[in-house]
A and B are shown apart, each in its own frame.
Chain A
Amino acid sequence: MTTRYKALFEELQKNGEGAFIPFVMLGDPNMDESASIIETLVKSGADALELGIPFSDPVADGPVIQTAANRALESGITPDGCFKIIENFRMKNDTIPIGLLVYANLVIGRGARNFYSRAAKSGVDSVLIADVPTLASGSFVEYARDAGIDAVFIAPPNADDAKLREIAGLTCGYTYFLGRSGVTGADREMSAPLSSRIALLKSSGAPPVVVGFGISKPEHVRASLEAGADGAIAGSATVAIIERRLDDRDLMHEELARFVKDMKSATKGKG
């Protein structure tokens, strides 16, 4: 596990808090605004960041994040530009963990080794590839390890015990636990995660468990933590604020800040 994730989860544990991790698409709606959105998220209390590199064919994403990817691509952002946003941010903040959420073809596009080493140099801590399941993970895990990047894997609700144990052993940095089936989106809410599934992951040695998909309200964060998770990720709900306030950036930042604060406060007083 990279030291940034380790330090974060130790600190949260000590304070009896969970992690709130917002997701946004890099380059949405453009490179400059995207950089300033990230700063707002962090200033407002985000414990870590989950950032997407826009891909033309995001099969694991619902309409809100698809549209965000399109906005970003139309603004002309490339993976290289995404890494530049992260590099610039890292000059101001060297402690908050940063995870990338990407699709496989962007990882191998200019060579997977090259991708991971570029990510590491930019200050990225983890990479989750939405369309690389554990059984196809071989070389990706190796390249990530060589570059000092945590390879994160998803634990879906339909995984059996053996699969959960395998994921627990493989995922690094944190474990991305799906709050429900389907694709990303806030329109279908998470189902209360099964505490027994989370317990099995933890007893199998999984790194901290973070719930994603269908997380849009503070009560979802609380339900996740009550089920034994260590944090929650909100993607579509965060991105929807950007989409809704494209024509009023002050209001956009204000609403993003309020959303992050509300979600973060739901992580306090855990256990």
Chain B
Amino acid sequence: MCVEISKGAFGDFGGMFVPEILVPTLLDLERAFEESCGDRSFASEFEGLLREYAGRETPLYRCRNLAGDTGVKIYLKREDLLHGGAHKTNQVIGQALLARRMGKTRLIAETGAGQHGVATALAGALFKMRTRVYMGSKDMARQAQNVFRMRLMGAEVTPVETGSRSLKDAINEALRDWSESYADTHYLLGTAAGPHPFPTIVREFQRVIGREAKRQILEAEGRLPDAVFACVGGGSNAIGMFADFIDEPSVRLIGVEPAGHGLHTEKHGATIERGRPGILHGSYSYLLQDEDGQIHESHSISAGLDYPGVGAQHSHLHSTGRAEYVGITDREAVDAFALLSREEGIIPALESAHALAHALKCANEAGPPRVFIVNLSGRGDKDIEQVAPYISLEARHP
């Protein structure tokens, strides 16, 4: 089944499937974004804030111990070191500047793991905009620290009790808010999904990740990487990493989805591998759904990947075969989380641990010496409580 995509198409995917009342607002946003693209002062303010406020550029770090015996060099793009603790801050600053440009005085956002909520909260504080973050009550329980951080920075965090009480339902609630509040409010969507123009805006504001990584790897290795890895929930860190490599056919693009309890079970969030195309949250893209089109609840240990949809451009990259999408289970992600902590002294976000886990699998396959880049999209301090039950830590020096 194909639908006609009149605006915001990525091949057969994308579009603007929203209630009519949101269309004028989305078209205003599209216009503001297009104007900002040709505006030097916008770019210089954005870049200035990324540098001075958010701490760009982030390092590209070659692992000294991890995979040392495999002949594969694993480089980590350290978005975990970005202010806010994840790549989310990049595009939040961009969208907040757009919101101000459009004369909006209030921000709303959805959040899963809380990283996008934290990023929106810091932008709300920085730009002096009232901020409300919708968060599934299930996610509020598993990411209590981030709830506190958001509130500390002045954001109002509104629990969402409907549906699966996670990211999908938080997006529903934000869209409902926006259909009433559009006059003074910008919906700061946190991922590369949703209706046009969000997938494009988010990609362009996240593109800096891959642009820097490309330059850094050329400096370090004198060549392009063999593969880049990124986790995919909605897909913003992945599309940011992929964007500048899409036209480099020698570079494999690998998106890692949450396989939860396993792809053979019903408890996963592997939208591209196990879903089929449909319409949710404004775009035509892969979805976890039943035969009638009712949306399935996804599952992942990682709240940031717990989403039954995916950004339209990823569906397109999958359908053309340009990018590969694979699954990593909860258990494998936790193991990679622990391994990176122990081997390199870096605690990754559980989301990013999915990407790392798959890179390690590939590194352990026989082959010539290779160079991998893993997008370490966030830091893992937020996940400590979540992970603790899975890991037994023995005192090494009694």
Contacts and interface: CB of A to CB of B under 8 A. Distances in A.
Contacts of B262: none
B168 interface: yes
A18 B3 CA distance: 37
B281 interface: yes
B172 A133 contact: no
Contact of B172 (A57, A130, A163, A182): A57
A192 to B, nearest CB: 18
B294 interface: yes
> Mostly helix, strand, loop or mixed at chain B's interface?
mixed
B293 A159 contact: no
Interface in A103-124: 103-112
Interface stretch (B72-80, B174-182, B215-223, B354-362): B174-182
B51 interface: no
Nearest to B22: A133
Contact of A110 (B6, B168, B291): B291
Interface stretch (A58-66, A84-92, A196-204, A261-269): A58-66
A247 B1 CA distance: 42
Interface string B281-300: 11000010101111100000
- In this complex, which of A57, A73, A108 has the most chain B Cβ atoms within 10 angstroms of its Cβ? A57
B383 to A, nearest CB: 27
A271 to B, nearest CB: 28
A109 B289 contact: yes
Interface residues of A, number: 46
Interface residues of B, number: 39
Contacts, number: 125
B293 A59 contact: no
Given A104-B279, A106-B293, A133 B3 contact: no
A187 to B, nearest CB: 12
B18 interface: yes
B148 to A, nearest CB: 27
Nearest to A58: B172
B16 interface: yes
- In this complex, which of A56, A61, A131, A153 has the most chain B Cβ atoms within 10 angstroms of its Cβ? A56
B3 A59 contact: no
Interface of B: 1, 3-7, 15-25, 162-163, 168-169, 172, 175-176, 179-180, 182, 278-282, 287, 289, 291-295
- In the A-B complex, the 9 residue pairs with the smallest Cβ-Cβ separation, listed nearest first, are A109-B293, A182-B180, A156-B21, A105-B293, A138-B4, A104-B279, A133-B20, A139-B4, A56-B295
